[in-house]
Chain A
């Protein structure tokens, strides 16, 4: 039904609190140029551009895909914009891959970014008024409910925070570098939104991510090993209605079922070598492990406590350091997808999971209502090759 799609170029910026040295177009161009360099291609080789970012009010630049078209080499070429709140980086990558898989274009550049320092997300999310909750305030009650339902011990969230910050030390692009953070320090840091401590919360970052995707025939000429898109899925649901379960959103359950089934994955814990999951607040690691049926109810905290989600563990999660270490919101989802691809290319550097051939990337957004996922492999039959 569809052609194969290969990821042949991946680039990202150094994520920082402020990137005053570059403009918005300069930021996205930095990531895009690195993706092109990785693929050993030039701007003229690209047929179409797909851009994603979180809602425009975060920087106050409306429809930036139009003003940035020139900086992205897209003058005279199709440029598409994707909007799915925090999951947008993932959705954007999927839209780009579909343009290749359906034969619409042969080489597609996809870019996602956020420049949080040029906006004020707390002020924006509060509608400019006092008493704003911030994103953490919306998610916190759901984490409380998850903890109550599963009996997860209080140190599990802090364990995730420490693991991701230690992983980030191996990733030169990661924003936070906290090699010595301890569980005790996390638990003693200020409680921002009960049960989320300061150190269990993502930073505000400026940053961008980009990928070049292409067809099977063109990928064969690529200088470095490609990652292959084995399956993609997107699902969404309304953010608020009576009877909704935001702790285990049905859209997330069905999205995971769809992406694993399409990739031929029947036992995710055994068949997936490494996962990059959108965890902006520590408790979302166990919540998505259960919410996407990677493990059963009440099992996620045990997996984390035993160290199985560490690099070198049975089911490594967020070896890049994850959203907890870098959060350029619009790019955060694409970073998950791109890090999954880097892993199966064997190009993740210090945070490489040895021998990874199948990787899972996930992003969520809004009121935990938009989901985007993909499974990538080192070969098109990477899942089957596991036997």
Chain B
């Protein structure tokens, strides 16, 4: 653990009553076996999900259970998902300059519904596109990091980080849009 006290430049007329003190903590999390399978597959350029035989819902990353049908999901329920899909929702974020923020220009975060078996990925970066041209229904494909740059560091048991360590973002394929009305109930 390393710590970095940060003293804000203060007006010398004002007494110092508060000091920012940011901490950094690295820790290792033991992930469950199904998440390990997912992480290993991601390093090989594959997105794994789990499909619930009862509810038909697809979970990505896999989580070993379906909270809707309340059933256990195992290796038999693993399914390889596509690395292309459709933007179903998005927002454009104007970055707040908090400590550690490196973004300076507005950026897009989108939900992507994968083709084929399905699977929704939230909060994905959209690349190679001015943010004001992003649309619901736009077809996109994954931009994978080179294998040597992929990392599992952000993958944990809480399904956070999803594909971030292996996929840099998603770029438009140039194919015709899918009608946006189809995605009104696909908010993630």
Q: Are B98 and A120 in contact (CB under 8 A)?
A: yes
- Provide the bound-state CA to CA distance between A284 and B187, in Å: 16
**How many whole Å from A150's CB to the nearest CB in chain B?**
10
* Chain B residue contacts of A123, Cβ below 8 A: 22, 98-100
Residue among B99, B123, B188 making CB contact with A246, cutoff 8 Å: B188
Q: Determine if B22 and A190 form an interchain contact, defined as CB atoms under 8 angstroms apart.
A: no
Contact A126 B98 (CB under 8 A): yes
Which of A73-81, A139-147, A220-228, A348-356 faces chain B? A139-147
Contact B94 A238 (CB under 8 A): no
Q: Determine whether the beta carbon of A141 is less than 8 Å from that of B98.
A: no
A241 and B91 in contact, given A123-B100, A128-B100, A130-B101 (Cβ under 8 angstroms): no
Assembled-state Cα–Cα distance A137/B120 (Å): 17
Residues A111-146 near B (CB distance < 8 A): 117-118, 120, 122-123, 126, 128-134, 137, 140-142, 144-145
Interface size on B, residues (CB 8 A): 43
* A131 and B92 contacting across the interface, CB-CB below 8 Å: no
* B110 CB to nearest A CB, Å: 8
Q: Report B-chain residues with C-beta under 8 Å of the C-beta of A148.
A: 136, 180, 184
- A20 cross-chain contacts in B, Cβ below 8 A: 17-18
Give the dominant DSSP class at A's interface: loop
Interface hub of B94, B95, B99, B123 (most chain A Cβ within 10 A):
B94
- Most chain A CB within 10 A, of B18, B91, B95, is at B91
User: Is A245 among interface residues, defined by CB-CB distance under 8 A?
Assistant: yes
CB atoms of B187 and A245 under 8 A apart = yes
Contact among B23, B94, B122 with A192 in the assembled complex (CB-CB below 8 Å): B94
CB distance from A102 to the nearest CB of B (A): 30
Which A residues are CB-close (under 8 A) to B123?
133
Interchain CB contact under 8 A, A193 and B98: no
In angstroms, how far is the closest chain A Cβ from the Cβ of B122?
A: 7
Is A140 a contact of B101 with CB atoms below 8 Å? no
Q: How far is the CB of A246 from chain B (nearest CB, A)?
A: 5
Give chain B residues whose Cβ lies under 8 Å from the Cβ of A140.
91, 93
Report whether A129 and B100 are in contact in the complex, using a CB–CB cutoff of 8 Å: yes
Contact of A241 with B94 in the complex, beta carbons under 8 Å: no
Knowing A241-B68, A243-B57, A243-B68, the reply to whether A130 touches B102 (Cβ < 8 A) is yes
In chain A, residues 243-267, which have Cβ atoms closer than 8 Å to a Cβ of chain B? 243-247
- A149: CB under 8 A from chain B? yes
Distance in angstroms between the alpha carbons of A113 and B3 in the assembled complex:
27
CB atoms of A131 and B89 under 8 A apart: no
- Do A117 and B109 touch (CB < 8 A)? no
Closest B residue to A20 by CB, please name it.
Answer: B17
Q: B103 contacts which of A130, A144, A241, A242 (Cβ < 8 Å)?
A: A130
Are A191 and B100 touching (Cβ within 8 A)?
A: no
- Is B102 in contact with A137, judged by CB distance below 8 angstroms? no
From the candidates B20, B55, B100, B136, name the one contacting A126 in the complex (CB within 8 A).
Answer: B100
User: What separation, in Å, do the CA atoms of A118 and B90 have in the docked complex?
Assistant: 32
Closest to B95 in A: A131
Quick check: is A185 within 8 A (CB to CB) of the other chain?
no
Whole-angstrom distance between the Cβ of A354 and the nearest chain B Cβ:
40
Residue of B with least CB distance to A137: B93
Residue A194, interface by CB 8 Å = yes
Does chain A have a CB within 8 A of B59?
A: yes
CA separation between A20 and B17, bound complex, in Å?
7
Given the complex of chains A and B, what is the CA–CA distance between A142 and B185 in angstroms?
A: 10
- In the complex, what distance in Å separates the CA atom of A20 from the CA atom of B111? 41
Contact of A193 with B94 in the complex, beta carbons under 8 Å: yes
B residues in contact with A242, CB < 8 Å: 57-59, 68, 118-120, 188
A-B contact pairs, 7 of them (CB 8 A): A141-B111, A145-B184, A148-B136, A191-B94, A193-B91, A238-B67, A245-B187
Which residues of B does A touch, CB under 8 Å?
17-18, 20, 22-24, 55, 57-59, 67-68, 89-96, 98-103, 106-107, 109, 111, 118-120, 122-123, 125, 136, 159, 180, 184-185, 187-188
Given contacts A122-B96, A131-B102, A145-B89, 6 further A-B pairs with CB under 8 A are A123-B22, A131-B107, A133-B91, A140-B91, A240-B122, A241-B57
Name A's B-contacting residues (CB within 8 A): 18, 20, 60, 117-118, 120, 122-123, 126, 128-134, 137, 140-142, 144-145, 148-149, 190-194, 238, 240-247
